[in-house]
Amino acid sequence: MNPTMIPIPSAWILYLSAVLFVIGAIGVLLRRNGISIFLALELMLNSANLAFASFAFRFAGASATAAHALNGQIFIFFIIAVAAAEAAVGLALFIAMYRRKETIDVDRFNILRW
């Protein structure tokens, strides 16, 4: 990076991550369409990734010689892998649900309630 550039505080990205997380959480609470809920969930996962990226950047200076400077980034890697697994299973589940009831409105899947 060009040394004359003024870096931004790490907290900014954390705030952005918090905003995205809250938007995702509101989405999960608001939407009733299963796929829309899932999309909001992915948004929440991504905001967590962003926070990890920010932490990796910030604590890199503190542990420069140690082998763990990149732990935050490794976490993102694992989160992405798990998100991929989750998306595959979740979407397959929605297809199975759609086959059964011809809808993916999560409020319609309430037969276990009574």
Partner 1 sequence: MAFLSAHFVAIVFYVLAVLAVAGGVGVITFKNPVHSALSLLGTFLMVAGLFVLRHAEFLGAVQLLVYAGGIMVLFLFVIMLVNVRRLSPDAAFLSRRAPLAVLSGVVFGALIAFGVLAGSLGHPGGGATALQMVQGHVMGNTEAVGWTLYRHFLVPFEIVSVVLLVAMIGAIIFGRKDAGLEGRGGRMEP
Q: Between residue 19 and residue 48, which ones bind partner 1 under the rule CB under 8 A?
A: 19-27, 29-33, 35-36, 38-40, 42-43, 46
The answer to whether 109 contacts partner 1 (rule: CB under 8 A) is no
The contact mask relative to partner 1 for 86-105 (x = CB under 8 A, - = no) is xxxx-xxxxxxxxxx--xxx
In the complex, minimum distance from the CB of residue 108 to partner 1, in angstroms, rounded to a whole number? 10
In the complex, minimum distance from the CB of residue 109 to partner 1, in angstroms, rounded to a whole number? 11
Tokens encoding 78? 């694992």
